[in-house]
Amino acid sequence: MKASTIIGLFIAVTTASAIPVQPRHDNVEIVFIGAADAQFTQSFPSDGSVVSINNPLSISHISSSTGGIQCTFNGIDHSVTTVSGAETVDVGPPQTQLTGSCWSQETESTTPPDNSAGGMVSVIFIGAADAQFEQSFPVNGEWISITNPLSISHIQSTTAGVTCVFNGIDQSLTTVSDGLVDVGPPQTQVSGSCSM
């Protein structure tokens, strides 16, 4: 009786361990292509979080082989390049890339951003002598251009649970999460991305 219980447990454990575990595909492999086919590959999470790119290679094309994912990349000379699904996109003009973020297009299509508090976040950009402007950003990680030329000293968001990243014209990278953050040194902001 004792032997049959042990054999039964052994069969149950062996059967459970034989069940294949499906790997999670939370990362997207992106290929950055420069002149003379020089290139590098970097992984990005598909949750919309912003990731720094530290390779100084000047990039002419960005390629993804993953369908259903959209990625946006910011260049050192203020390019904003979006790759949707499995495609190769030109970067114009070619330049070093600074940051990137990727998110699922399926998630975005089932819950489109709207103007409610759940889909957009309002950010205040503050310059000298209390000059300021306000701009809304979707919370899906998409990079949005900022066209106001005001030199910015502080950036403020009052939306809890949302993190935003902003690129300045002189290569500042400012991260804001529910509060007021200094921009150093003060400069015009060129693009921003927010995610929950």
pLDDT band at 72 (very low <50, low <70, confident <90, very high): confident
Supply the pLDDT for residue 6: 52
**CA 18/CA 168 separation, integer angstroms:** 52
Sign of CA dihedral 180, 183, 189, 194: negative
> Is there a single domain that holds both residue 103 and residue 149?
no
Task: Confirm whether 40 is domain-assigned.
Answer: yes
Supply the pLDDT for residue 108: 42
Supply the pLDDT for residue 94: 93
* 109-114 long-range Cβ contacts below 8 angstroms, 24+ apart: 113/138, 113/139, 113/140
Task: Confirm whether 11 is domain-assigned.
Answer: no
> Is there a single domain that holds both residue 119 and residue 170?
yes
Q: For residue 140, is pLDDT > 90?
A: no
> What's the mean pLDDT in 124-136?
93
> Is there a single domain that holds both residue 90 and residue 119?
no
Supply the pLDDT for residue 8: 52
Task: Confirm whether 21 is domain-assigned.
Answer: no
> What's the mean pLDDT in 129-147?
90
Q: What is the CATH number of the domain that holds 180?
A: 2.60.20
Question: Residue 63's domain spans which residues?
Answer: 27-107
Please count the structural domains in the chain.
Answer: 2
> Is there a single domain that holds both residue 78 and residue 39?
yes
Q: Which of 76, 107, 138 is the last residue of a domain?
A: 107
Supply the pLDDT for residue 134: 94
Q: What is the CATH number of the domain that holds 60?
A: 2.60.120.1150
